[in-house]
Amino acid sequence: MNKKILMLVCLVVIISSHVFAQSPAKKKERKGEFYFSWGYNKEWYTQSDLHVNQGLGNDYVLKAVKASDKPGWDQDLFGKALSIPQYNYRIGYIFNKKKGLGFEINFDHTKYVVYDQMVHMIGTYNGQAVNTNKVFMRTTVDSTNSYYFLNNGANFLLFNIVKRSNLYEKKDHKIKVDFLGKAGIGPVIPHVEDCFWGESNNAHFQVGGWNIGVEGCIRATFFNTIYLEYSNKLDYARYSGLQIYNGTAHQAFGTYEMILNLGYTFPMGKREN
């Protein structure tokens, strides 16, 4: 009996010593990382030639048209619904964390407003050749309205490739700062609302061309989950077949954006060996 107890004690000691001699197994990290964010933006646009083609004897170009954005919170901060100001969202997946490679769906709800100005018109208007300056204004002296809004969105949608590089990380990993470079291409989905010399369209959304963009971001991540991201972006968009009264319009312009996003990130995918 004593021998059996002694053998049992020895067996327990051997197993215990073997278990405790081993260092705790480190949990394998997942290969990928999913993230999404919401934020707001401010834009500046290049001048643009706006080409109008209507079945009214009109085929002309408004040269070097000036436009501005419409932030939405510049006069009434937080006094409007979250989806009314110029917002943006990002949904992305880093599929290789070691190399910092990923892809992203990148959407900017940007507003493009052609404000009151003197424009230079070249082409055919009312069946007559024109090369003159003309007042483009919401309400003129003769009550002939003229306006051109992509005010419910010039709406840039991009499918981006992403490269992330670490700039700084605390030893306890609670604060991390990264740089993200992004580049992509995709459609534009404008909301077209316009009136050319008294003839207005039915305001509508449509797929109306394409855009390409590049973006550079500084992202600060806290506790490996919440992050704040500041971005600068350049975009070039070509709009075509925009439906106006009895015709179409097309144009192209460049955009410079500043963007601030709040996001959430978490690991996904298979665990690495």
Q: What pLDDT was estimated at residue 142? A: 53
Distances (CA, A) of 178 to 44, 81, 169, 170: 26, 31, 9, 12
Query: The whole model's pTM is what?
Result: 0.84
The reported pLDDT for the residue numbered 77 is 56
Confidence of residue 74 (pLDDT cuts 50, 70, 90): low
Given a cut of 90, whether residue 31 has pLDDT beyond it is: no
Which residues, 6+ apart, have CB-to-CB distance to 114 below 8 Å?
Answer: 50, 65, 66, 67, 136, 147, 148, 149
Which residues lie below 8 Å from residue 51, measured CB to CB, with a gap of 6+? 60, 61, 249, 250, 251
Q: With 60 as the cut, is the pLDDT of residue 126 above it?
A: yes
Q: What is the mean pLDDT of the chain?
A: 88
The residue assigned the tokens 């106006």 is 244
pLDDT at 9 over 80: no
Instruction: Report whether pLDDT(273) > 70.
Output: no
Split at pLDDT 50, 70, 90, the class of 10 is low
pLDDT at 17: 47
Give phi and psi for 138, each to the nearest 5: -60, -45
**Would the pLDDT of 136 be above 50?**
yes
Question: Residue 162: beta bridge partners?
Answer: 102, 182
Counting residues of the chain whose pLDDT is more than 70, the rounded percentage is: 84
- Arithmetic mean of pLDDT, 136-152: 80
Task: Sketch the domain layout of the chain as residue ranges.
Answer: 30-271
Mean pLDDT lowest for which of 92-101, 141-150, 160-169, 234-243?
141-150
- Output the pLDDT for position 84: 75
Q: CATH assignment of 30-271, given 3.40.50.10800, 3.30.930.10, 2.40.160.20, 3.40.630.10?
A: 2.40.160.20
Residue with the larger pLDDT of the pair 16 and 150: 150
Q: What was the pLDDT predicted at 19?
A: 42
Give per-residue pLDDT as tens, 174-197.
999 999 999 999 999 999 999 999
